[in-house]
Amino acid sequence: MLIELKERYGNKTLLLGLIIFLISLPFIVELVGNAWVRIVTFSLLYVMLALGLNIVIGFAGLLDLGYVAFYAVGAYLFALLSSSHLIENFTFFQYAFPNGFTFSSWTLLFIAAVIAGFFGLLLGFPVLRLRGDYLAIVTLGFGEIIRIFLNNLNTPINLTNGPQGIGGISPLILFGIDFSKSVNFLNIEFSSLQLHYYLFLAMSIIIILISKRLEYSRLGRAWVAVREDEVAAKACGINTTRVKLWAFVLGASFGGVSGSLFASFQGFISPESFILMESIVIVSMVVLGGMGNIYGVVVGAVLLYAIPEILRLTAKQLQEFFLGTEVFPTEALRMLLFGVSLVAIMLFKPMGLFPKNKNAK
């Protein structure tokens, strides 16, 4: 009887508990400080990025070290079309848009996804014949080329404002809600930070659902076939060129949407936000959680972003509490523990915390 009840209601109870926890999380962590709300909010942003890269690495088996380029494309596109930068620097835009850009936030998110997907297509075509280390090197170079362009396109025409970055980015306005302002709903005050948390949570859930649908679609099965044995996949009649291009395009689109959300949340972006280390961290999230395992990637993204940031806030206080003084600089200790943890996990769990069950139906 108890076993039947557990099988019937166990998963529903767990899901309900998870929903209640996620809804109440920003209010719980806000008791400690707004910095903690920011950590959980950014954790969800990296969940979106990791899920996008999981399509390329986890599903299709294509090692992409330049994923941050699509993140940057989405962020800069949103920034250029929602700030006054282009109008102030180009006469054409001054005449074409005398009242400034009036694109809706939905339109900007869609354009960012499409343009980032187009850049994914541009990357995909030249690397169709590459795999493994060679693919990693080319994609790494692509990511660096995009960053260098963003850093230097302030002369002779000031398109990106170079290292100074772009500020004055308009906030998101979705469903009539201005995400830069607090909102009172049912006599509960939601701060801007909390609103962004719920937006990022909703977007993460949408991307998870899309990923699940893709995983068990014909395209998803084709990705797995290419990942396991590309020659055998071709012999079975799979168009490997089209399949790989779709992986790059869809993964890049998720990165573009994430970049748009990042730009609107920050209100300012610069090339320093899109360095190579960002790509490496996102790849590590996918590998840590378990390549191809959607829920494992979610856990990997949260752990790999949240733990270093929590250490940034608490390392000094913990040392003073236990040792009486700060023995190790906070940044050094944070990165040391971060690195040791990754090495330990790769030694004892080389397939990630939640490896994909290849025998699963």
* pLDDT tens-place string over residues 239-275: 988 999 999 999 999 999 999 999 999 999 999 999 9
**99: confidence class by pLDDT, cuts 50, 70, 90:** confident
How many residues in the chain?
A: 361
Asked if residue 120 has pLDDT above 60, the reply is: yes
Cα–Cα distance for residue pair 142/130, rounded to 1 Å: 14
- pLDDT at residue 4 in the model: 46
Q: How many CB atoms lie within 10 A of CB 48?
A: 25
* CA angle in degrees (0–180, nearest 5) for 246-271-71: 20
> At 67, phi and psi to the nearest 5?
-65, -25
Burial tier of 215 (Cβ tally within 10 Å: 0-12, 13-18, 19+) = buried
* pLDDT tens-place string over residues 14-42: 888 888 889 999 999 988 888 899 999 99
Q: Both ends of the chain: CA-CA distance in Å?
A: 29
Cα–Cα distance for residue pair 355/186, rounded to 1 Å: 43
- pLDDT at residue 262 in the model: 95
**357: confidence class by pLDDT, cuts 50, 70, 90:** low
Cα–Cα distance for residue pair 50/154, rounded to 1 Å: 31
**The tokens of 102 are what?**
């009036």
* Cα torsion 108, 109, 114, 119: sign: positive
Give the C-alpha distances (Å, rounded to integers) separating 203 from 159, 200, 261: 29, 5, 10
- pLDDT at residue 254 in the model: 96
**Over the chain, what is the mean pLDDT?**
87
**10: confidence class by pLDDT, cuts 50, 70, 90:** low
**2: confidence class by pLDDT, cuts 50, 70, 90:** very low
Amino acid at 39: I
Nearest alpha carbon to residue 242 among 80, 124, 359, 81: 124
42 against 190, higher pLDDT: 42
What pairs with residue 183 in β-bridges?
Answer: 190
The strand pair at 173-174 and 188-190 is best described as: unpaired
pLDDT (mean) for 183-195: 85
Cα–Cα distance for residue pair 166/267, rounded to 1 Å: 8
- pLDDT at residue 358 in the model: 57
86-100, 174-188, 249-263 — most confident range: 249-263
Domain residue ranges of the chain, discontinuous segments joined by +: 35-275
What pairs with residue 174 in β-bridges?
Answer: 177
CB 354 within 8 A of CB 293: yes
Choice among 72-76, 209-213, 298-302, 348-352 with the minimum mean pLDDT: 348-352
- pLDDT at residue 116 in the model: 95
